[in-house]
Copies of this chain bind each other. A is one copy, B any other.
Amino acid sequence: MKQNIYDNPVFFKKYIALRDSGITYNDFVEQPAIKSLISDLTNKSVLDLGCGTGHFSTYCIENGASRVLGVDISKNMIDEATKRNRHQRIEYICSPIEDISLANQTFDVIVSSLAIHYVENYTKLMKKINSALNENGQFIFSTEHPLTTSRKGMNNWILDENGEKMHWALDNYQEEGRRDHTWYVDGVVVYHRTISTLINTLIESGFVLEQVIEPEATVKGLPKLPKLINERRRPSFIIIKAKKQSQHNE
């Protein structure tokens, strides 16, 4: 049974309030990094997996994309997206991203921002994404860094007696699978995968790896959210850019 935490009313309300503040890890760490990896979108068709409220779908249209299909598991999110980011060249579909039925649609660019750690079957998703890309298509995604998801119980900073962060506690790295985290509510389910699984499955699914970013905070973001300095001590996210392997390079 897939978890759909964004349809939990308590979680959803708090999440939307956070995102609307404009002072988040997304604004100052993850989004600048993922956008830096996206090449020219002019006349490109885009699939946005885990589109949330559709801000990224709109970003693609504003940067020249010919059309965007936004997909999200949460009805709350899709409702919000159709209110906030309605556009004649954006279509929204409510579906778990790994179950999306694309018929014969293919895309030039597929992006996924902080959604893939919610998906249990990473291999199936990578194969689906690969087959939904056009020749030379790009796939760019961000996910929680394995350093952040690995420890069972909870990954966290170890504090000294004055409450200062001493170091990050790491454990259980090779034990892939479900982790139950607390984020506004208990029992937010994410899936831990190692760096090697993230990369090797991508390659085995027909991608050529192009670039990896473990982002730090932007210079502008740091004064607004000072705790982002800790991204230097251990990254929260990893962002991967790959392209579909060309058939005749085999």
Contact = CB atoms under 8 A, between A and B. Distances in A.
Nearest to A231: B174
A249 to B, nearest CB: 5
A173 B214 CA distance: 10
B203 A234 contact: no
Contacts of A185: none
Interface residues of A, number: 35
A168 interface: yes
A216 interface: yes
Contacts of A209: 199, 203, 209
Contact of A171 (B168, B171, B199): B168
B203 A235 contact: no
Given A147-B147, A169-B168, A196-B214, A235 B158 contact: no
Interface string A209-223: 111111010000000
A214 B216 CA distance: 24
A41 interface: no
A69 to B, nearest CB: 29
A208 interface: yes
Given A173-B234, A174-B233, A203 B211 contact: yes
10 contacts: A147-B170, A158-B167, A158-B169, A168-B170, A173-B214, A173-B233, A174-B216, A174-B233, A195-B195, A203-B210
Interface of A: 147, 151, 158, 166-175, 194-196, 199-200, 203, 208-214, 216, 231-235, 238, 246, 249
